[in-house]
């Protein structure tokens, strides 16, 4: 289905048209098609918060968005306000999962992380702690040739691959945390 969102990118990444963001949205659609209904969702490296807003619109529930960049957080908050979603998505400035709103053990059943390979690799242990058994992660920001490395790293951290979506030079991975 289609969901209309007003997105002002300004100094942040994520209008929904780039291959990485589009791959994440396709993975979200795959969850919907599979009947998965996450209620506790995080968007790490949220940029404009397009993924957080899409997840909030599709699934409802609690959504926490974060970005390491203060400008991105400001843009995300403005987009949340413009879409009347400030009460459904909170946005915090944080590196990875390093924030009280994100660091609860096994707190999430869906996490988006559309960031670079290096930070994704560093996040694997924290992601394993933050995602409930049976919960999903959607990882992107990966060149096609990087996806195998990231997938293997997350498999070592206790996740199993579910989906791999390639759009031109970019790959999105969806994995599920082992139970």
Task: Examine the pLDDT at 88 and tell me if it is beyond 80.
Answer: yes
Confidence of residue 12 (pLDDT cuts 50, 70, 90): very low
Q: What is the rounded average pLDDT of the residues 74-90?
A: 95
What residues form DSSP beta bridges with 65?
Answer: 43, 91
Q: What is the rounded average pLDDT of the residues 35-41?
A: 96
Predicted pLDDT of residue 179: 82
Q: How many CB atoms lie within 10 A of CB 136?
A: 26
How would you list the strands of the sheet with 131-143, edge to edge?
89-93, 62-67, 40-44, 108-114, 131-143, 170-177, 159-167
Predicted pLDDT of residue 94: 96
Predicted pLDDT of residue 139: 99
* Distance, CA of 64 to CA of 173 (rounded, Å): 20
Task: Examine the pLDDT at 14 and tell me if it is beyond 80.
Answer: no
Q: pTM for the complete prediction?
A: 0.91
Task: Examine the pLDDT at 5 and tell me if it is beyond 90.
Answer: no
Confidence of residue 107 (pLDDT cuts 50, 70, 90): confident
Distance of CA 156 to the CA centre of its chain: 20
The CATH fold assigned to 19-177 is Rossmann fold (3.40.50)
Structure tokens, 142: 């990966």
Q: What is the rounded average pLDDT of the residues 1-12?
A: 52
């Amino acid at each position: 289905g289609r969901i209309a969102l007003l997105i002002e990118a300004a100094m942040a990444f994520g209008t929904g048209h780039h291959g990485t963001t589009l791959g994440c949205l396709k993975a979200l659609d795959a969850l919907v098609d599979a009947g998965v209904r996450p209620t506790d969702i995080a968007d790490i490296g949220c940029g404009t918060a397009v993924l957080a807003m899409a997840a909030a619109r599709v699934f409802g529930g609690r959504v926490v968005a974060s970005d390491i960049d203060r400008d991105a957080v400001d843009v995300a908050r403005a987009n949340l306000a413009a879409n009347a979603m400030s009460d459904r998505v909170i946005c915090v400035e944080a590196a990875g999962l390093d924030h009280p709103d994100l660091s609860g053990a096994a707190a999430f059943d869906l996490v988006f992380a559309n960031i670079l390979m290096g930070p994704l690799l560093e996040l694997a242990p924290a992601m394993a702690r933050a995602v409930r058994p049976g919960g999903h992660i959607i990882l992107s920001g990966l060149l096609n040739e990087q996806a195998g490395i990231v997938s293997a790293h997350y498999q070592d951290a206790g996740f199993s691959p579910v989906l791999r979506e390639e759009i031109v030079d970019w790959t999105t991975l969806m994995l599920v945390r082992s139970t």
